[in-house]
Amino acid sequence: MSEGQKFQLGTIGALSLSVVSSVSIVICNKALISTLGFTFATTLTSWHLLVTFCSLHVALWMKMFEHKPFDPRAVMGFGILNGISIGLLNLSLGFNSVGFYQMTKLAIIPCTVLLETLFFRKKFSRKIQFSLTILLLGVGIATVTDLQLNMLGSVLSLLAVITTCVAQIMTNTIQKKFKVSSTQLLYQSCPYQAITLFVTGPFLDGLLTNQNVFAFKYTSQVVFFIVLSCLISVSVNFSTFLVIGKTSPVTYQVLGHLKTCLVLAFGYVLLKDPFNWRNILGIMVAVIGMVVYSYFCSIETQQKASETSSTQLPQQMKESEKDPLIAVENGSGVLSDGGGGVQKTAAPVWNSNKEF
């Protein structure tokens, strides 16, 4: 199996893990919050991150991955920013209507595209932009019901969008800049995220719910769902970093909207949530947008891979002409399999600026 095939297989696995784990934790948290009345979302998220860090520490102790320290200031800043973005999203939901909160989540994709274009000179083709527009239109139809505006809620939403976009772009760039895996980055940044939310979580949850998380009555059923949610969160956090590292922040957001559609569908089938023609139409349009986005990304990936391989061959030929030792060792300057006459070129280099 070639390196490109292994990369694609790993990416498909990461996307699948992200979808399954995210839909599972939404269903679990919905039972915990809606049915059992545990409405302390920010504090729960801090517990998720603490359990994730402990799980990764055990995995490190079992030598399942290698600890790779790098710039501590970058790790601290990244971890704190991630924690702040989660807190702001929860505040945005608390101070806005559900419809405006959904619009906030939809704004993350165009904001990410804008930031990557301005600061990273990343190019998004018109086909990709067109497919993203279809996707956002579909999710908007399915989820946005009312748009009640207020100044505080709008400011919180704006800050939530900016911090979320920057944090997700940093997830991708840090992994590539410092050559660390998603597991290594998550292990080092988890404590800072957890501490940020653990300190601010009870205050934010008290502000939003007028309840004290420490005074809540923890029945055996509540504890069971909290533990289950924390265990699922290990997979959610890991797959998030994995997907962004292997693809891009925009692709991760597209995947997030797929999860939204799946949650709506599962809510109707399993939990008998209300469902109307707008939900059905929106999900259908969103799925079309996702299919078109995936198709165009696949086409552009193949084109860039072929361009890379075609530019590598002349470079190898030039090097062989300049250095006779290369020509002697490789026969004609191109790697050979030893007499079968089959020419091999180096595998295409993954370009961090392309969309998958």
The highest-confidence range among 133-137, 273-277, 279-283, by mean pLDDT, is 133-137
Query: Which of the four pLDDT bands, split at 50, 70 and 90, describes residue 295?
Result: confident
What is the rounded distance in angstroms from the CA atom of residue 44 to the CA atom of residue 325?
63
What is the rounded distance in angstroms from the CA atom of residue 215 to the CA atom of residue 209?
13
- Structure confidence at residue 99 (pLDDT): 72
Domain that holds residue 203: 24-303
- Please name the residues in contact with 84: beta carbons below 8 A apart, sequence gap of 6 or more: 163, 196
In a domain, residue 50? The reply is yes
Q: What is the CA radius of gyration of the chain?
A: 23
Element (H, E) at 344: strand 343-344
- DSSP codes of every residue in 50-107: HHHHHHHHHHHHTTSS------HHHHHHHHHHHHHHHHHHHHHHHHS-HHHHHHHHHT
In a domain, residue 344? The reply is no
| Dihedral Cα 285, 133, 82, 92, nearest 10 deg | -70
In a domain, residue 158? The reply is yes
- Structure confidence at residue 328 (pLDDT): 38
Q: Is the pLDDT of residue 137 over 80?
A: yes
What is the rounded distance in angstroms from the CA atom of residue 228 to the CA atom of residue 27?
11
In a domain, residue 334? The reply is no
- Structure confidence at residue 55 (pLDDT): 94
In a domain, residue 10? The reply is no
In a domain, residue 80? The reply is yes
State the pTM of this model: 0.74
- Please name the residues in contact with 339: beta carbons below 8 A apart, sequence gap of 6 or more: none
Q: What percent of the residues of the chain are helix, what percent strand, and what percent coil, each to the nearest 5?
A: 80, 0, 20
Render pLDDT for 89-117 as a digit per residue (tens, 0 to 9): 888 888 887 777 878 888 898 999 999 99
Joined together, the tokens standing for residue 194 give 């957890």
Q: How many domains is the chain built from?
A: 1
Render pLDDT for 42-62 as a digit per residue (tens, 0 to 9): 999 999 999 999 999 999 999
What is the rounded distance in angstroms from the CA atom of residue 269 to the CA atom of residue 27?
12
- Structure confidence at residue 166 (pLDDT): 95
In a domain, residue 185? The reply is yes
Query: Which of the four pLDDT bands, split at 50, 70 and 90, describes residue 303?
Result: confident
Strand partners, 336: 343
- Structure confidence at residue 272 (pLDDT): 63
**Nearest-CA neighbor of 39 among 236, 213, 273, 231?**
213
Query: Which of the four pLDDT bands, split at 50, 70 and 90, describes residue 355?
Result: very low
In a domain, residue 272? The reply is yes
Query: Which of the four pLDDT bands, split at 50, 70 and 90, describes residue 252?
Result: confident
What is the rounded distance in angstroms from the CA atom of residue 101 to the CA atom of residue 168?
19
Query: Which of the four pLDDT bands, split at 50, 70 and 90, describes residue 150?
Result: confident
- Structure confidence at residue 1 (pLDDT): 60
- Structure confidence at residue 74 (pLDDT): 93
Joined together, the tokens standing for residue 133 give 């527009």
